[in-house]
Structure 1
């Protein structure tokens, strides 16, 4: 049951072939080593011969042209032994030429036995499972140029040619390991009542069955166009999709999400054309983890007041999320060189903000368009690189909104750092991550105090942010006449709390040192008093008068402690010593 299309590499020719066991006649040659000739063919023509040898001791690979002149490239080490030209090379080239007809690329493998007999090995379209690492690397490009391309790629200045607007809407779909939801996603697009669409799928190096699913849909529906690339991220995939798109409008869909209403694209396209806008928005839903579908409140109150839809200004909403729920005029995007930034996370808000700022106006139509599947982990479980990317993206949103005086967007970006990503950023800084602390300080420096103050004093209406942010009742805190982002404020308070025991100990030490100095002065004063007393006539007279009583007292004490006889002996020894 193994699908060998992805077993060892990327060999789509096996995608729909049922795995079988084939028994072949055993083939051997004198000396044990088979002479293996592999003919590389491009565009119905044989170009090179690859000769393999020394399989038992360590595979060696040598390339030759059709006149048996050695070539200096390959993906295994070449043999240093002389390799004679086979006497029936022309016959093998002729066989390969016939077999390669009708293929843009194929490798024809033949064996030559000692007696000159030619045996067929195989025909393959993916040498080394499609994973050759050529030496030198330039050989990869050289061979790639031999592939006949079905059509030339349009130059940038041709992208806006009206003759190239072949569809009403282009749906751009980046795919990476989405086999679980991909069919539902594609079906929701292809079943739209608007048939004049194209679905541009960019597989971003998937290693699951997503490429097989894409290939299957592409074969069944000509509107599906699949492009393959190494894993470069969703931004690169979307940008590539924009370059390939030929729709009058474009929209973006993630492979784990789907369109809820079958007429969503038709309704948005019709509204956009009727009201002559560059952007048109639909409604959004959530597919929760328990399978329940819930409604995002974004635009719903507006649509209750305007059931036929309404034309609005971006200045009155200033959203940064949910870019999937819109269709965009492709001409506007191309003319203004709008692209998704090549970052690991938070790629879509920068694109969306700039597109909406350029459009200025857009139309909201009450159709249940986009269903967002909740599958991702909360930010506190993200990788360091993802958290840093979000923080940098929000800093850029702060700078953009400050420059263009977008008060709601500026406040919203600050609030996302302070509450939506607060714990994730704070935990990273608590772990000693200096990059996170530096990025947070840079984001705080991007704050505009006057803008934040205006919003928080109620001078700006933020009710239209319902549906894009869940903490509209919270505020940015001010410290010493400067607004401070919440994770930075938490970190500073934490530092102060950690310093309190140290400060307390420092105060205590200072008190003890003061007390010690004070006691030293007292001791010195007492010493002076005692010295003066000892030098006085009264003290000397008293010592003389009490001499005999003191001796008697000492004798009695000694007798009590050591006995009378011992005390007398001790007294006599001392007197004798004197």
Structure 2
């Protein structure tokens, strides 16, 4: 049984695949298996994989019809025989001692999961920046091993990506933790399933994965915006996971989901953004979280949430519109400064016009001025 199974979903990454695979086969820990799942690539990715498979007996190539990285990872997990598993994206690469360091840490501390930092590599400028997900103080204070119960906010607001963690394979299988079959956002609910079930999560205070940003082929781009409904499905799964938890935890989970939705919503423009806003309005209308929303009125996304809920589209009663409008109080500094209030209204009007068009903006203006 190998110590680590490396699972790599592959789809049209011929430009970066050699760098990824070379960083894996040259690991200081050699007792690993490398499972590459080609998700129906149409470039030369499969040829590259087959070449590596012929030269290294640790590499196994599986081919599937194109679905998603989530499905490819699940297939890789089904074939994994290692004690621990790591999910690596095929356009990224890793430091030479990742598996030696994380495997030893997980074994020594009997961890279900080992979490570590990562580096962002800018594909345009070539700059590298270390992303620290937890401070050295947390580790130095004896908090290397923890879990969701002990550090709720820390884990709920942490990076959901699967590739900055090493997982005990039996932990995933026994708890039936898999990725969602979604074009994008298929790793979000996976992360929350992991932290909800894990009893021991080890925090390794080093960066090992080099994550490529500003990659034109990444799902963070146009593909994600064209399949925005995936975020709604992922959010539903996450909210369902915590529906029986305390109100405080549920509130944080809603906040996390909303931050994710609006983060990617802000990357859209023009007609595409208006179409996504309509989808968001319908999604919001299905959520039975009105009481929770009252306690989230100071969240940075709340004003936009109000605006989208009140948009033309699905039928929303006047009572509902008025109720939502008055949940969010104006900051006391604005009450004291009428000019600040006027400036805020002008900026809001301009933003509303850019995002939702003249017709909707005029209707909102008439309502505020109490014009027929």
For structure 1, which segment, 396-405 or 273-282, has the greater mean C-alpha deviation from structure 2 after superposition? 396-405
Instruction: Tell me the CA shift for residue 309 of structure 1.
Output: 7.6
- For the pair 1:367 / 2:206, whether they are aligned, the reply is yes
C-alpha distance in 2 between matches for 1:501 and 1:450: 25
Instruction: Tell me the CA shift for residue 339 of structure 1.
Output: 1.3
Instruction: Tell me the CA shift for residue 291 of structure 1.
Output: 1.1
C-alpha distance in 1 between matches for 2:328 and 2:358: 18
Aligned to 1:421: 265
- For the pair 1:281 / 2:99, whether they are aligned, the reply is no
Aligned to 1:336: 175
What TM-score comes out, normalization by structure 1 length? 0.49
Instruction: Tell me the CA shift for residue 382 of structure 1.
Output: 4.2
SS of alignment partner, residue 227 of structure 2: helix
Aligned pair partner of 1:437 in 281, 284, 288 = 281
Change over 3 Å in CA distance of 1:308–1:367 after alignment to 2: farther
After superposition, the C-alpha distances for 1:501-549 in whole angstroms (9 at most, x for unaligned) are 77799968xxxxxxxxxxxxxxxxxxxxxxxxxxxxxxxxxxxxxxxxx
After superposition, the C-alpha distances for 1:404-456 in whole angstroms (9 at most, x for unaligned) are 34343332222222344345399546248854531243358588236636xx5
Aligned pair partner of 1:497 in 343, 349, 361 = 361
C-alpha distance in 2 between matches for 1:504 and 1:364: 51
C-alpha distance in 2 between matches for 1:425 and 1:208: 30
Change over 3 Å in CA distance of 1:420–1:297 after alignment to 2: farther
C-alpha distance in 2 between matches for 1:385 and 1:413: 19
Change over 3 Å in CA distance of 1:325–1:497 after alignment to 2: same
**1:15-30 to 2 correspondences below 5 Å:** none
Aligned pair partner of 1:345 in 155, 165, 184 = 184
**1:24-423 to 2 correspondences below 5 Å:** 166-259=1-94, 261-289=95-123, 290-299=125-134, 301-302=135-136, 306=140, 310-315=144-149, 316=151, 317=154, 318=156, 319-374=158-213, 375-376=215-216, 381-382=222-223, 385-405=226-246, 406=249, 407-422=251-266
Would the aligned equivalents of 1:320 and 1:349 in 2 still touch at CA under 8 Å?
no
C-alpha distance in 2 between matches for 1:225 and 1:382: 28
Instruction: Tell me the CA shift for residue 483 of structure 1.
Output: 7.0
Instruction: Tell me the CA shift for residue 474 of structure 1.
Output: 3.4
Instruction: Tell me the CA shift for residue 396 of structure 1.
Output: 3.3
What TM-score comes out, normalization by structure 2 length? 0.74
After superposition, the C-alpha distances for 1:453-509 in whole angstroms (9 at most, x for unaligned) are 6xx5xxxxxxxxxxxxxxxx936347346579x9xx96899876322677799968x
C-alpha distance in 1 between matches for 2:162 and 2:121: 17
| Higher relative contact order, structure no. (Cα contacts within 8 Å, ≥ 6 residues apart) | 2
**1:418-497 to 2 correspondences below 5 Å:** 418-422=262-266, 424=268, 428=272, 430-431=274-275, 435-442=279-286, 445=289, 448-449=292-293, 452=296, 474=300, 476-477=302-303, 479-480=324-325, 482=327, 497=361
SS of alignment partner, residue 291 of structure 1: coil
In structure 1, runs of 5+ residues without a counterpart are: 1-165, 457-472, 509-578
Q: Paired residues, what number?
A: 320
Would the aligned equivalents of 2:225 and 2:264 in 1 still touch at CA under 8 Å?
no
After superposition, the C-alpha distances for 1:209-235 in whole angstroms (9 at most, x for unaligned) are 111111111111111011111212212
C-alpha distance in 1 between matches for 2:270 and 2:286: 15
C-alpha distance in 2 between matches for 1:424 and 1:294: 26
SS of alignment partner, residue 314 of structure 1: coil
Instruction: Tell me the CA shift for residue 397 of structure 1.
Output: 2.6
Change over 3 Å in CA distance of 1:178–1:481 after alignment to 2: same
Would the aligned equivalents of 1:204 and 1:228 in 2 still touch at CA under 8 Å?
yes
Would the aligned equivalents of 1:449 and 1:483 in 2 still touch at CA under 8 Å?
no
C-alpha distance in 1 between matches for 2:146 and 2:230: 31
In structure 2, runs of 5+ residues without a counterpart are: 307-323, 330-347
Would the aligned equivalents of 2:294 and 2:327 in 1 still touch at CA under 8 Å?
no
Aligned to 2:315: none
